[in-house]
Amino acid sequence: MRTALQAFGTMAESGAVVRLAARWDDNGWRAAAASTRGADTRMPRAATPPIQAAPVLFNCRADPRPPGPRKLRRSRNWLSTHFLSCHFLGRGPARASPAEEVYMSLAVWANAEDVPTKVCTNARLGGAPLPHPTDPDAKTHGQGGWDVGLRFANIDHLAGQLDKLRISLPPHMCPTPPSAGLWSLPGCTSAPCRPGEFVTRLAIVAHGLPGRIYLGGQPISEERELMALSVKNLGNLSSSLMRIYWGTEQRATILFMGCLAGQGKKGDDLLMALSGLWPNRTIVAFTTVGYMLGHKMLRPNETCMEPGMRDTEYLYSGSLEGQQDEPKSRWRDLEWMPWASESSPDAKVILNGQFLRRPIRDNP
- pLDDT in the model for residue 48: 46
Q: Are 149 and 119 in contact (CB under 8 A)?
A: yes
Q: How far apart are the first and last CA of the chain?
A: 65
Tell me what the mean pLDDT of segment 104-125 comes to: 89
pLDDT digits (tens, 9 = 90+) for 75-87: 443 333 333 344 4
> Which pLDDT score is estimated for 26?
56
> For residue 172, what are the CA distances in angstroms to 122, 129, 195, 275, 312?
6, 7, 13, 33, 32
Stretch 178-207: mean pLDDT, rounded?
Answer: 63
Q: Where are the domains of the chain?
A: 105-179+192-357
159-178 average pLDDT score: 79
Contacts for 46-54: CB closer than 8 Å, 24+ residues apart: 48/95, 48/97, 48/98, 49/95, 49/97, 49/98, 50/95, 51/93, 51/95, 52/93, 52/95, 53/93, 54/1
Query: Which residues lie across from 351 on neighbouring strands?
Result: 282, 354
Tell me if the pTM is above 0.85: no
Range with the poorest average pLDDT among 170-179, 243-252, 353-362: 170-179
- Residue 67 confidence (pLDDT): 43
Per-residue pLDDT tens for 279-332?
Answer: 999 999 999 999 888 889 999 999 999 999 999 998 887 777 666 665 557 888
How high is the pLDDT of residue 363?
Answer: 73
Write down the mean pLDDT value for the chain.
75
Asked if 234 contacts 284 with a C-beta cutoff of 8 angstroms, the reply is no
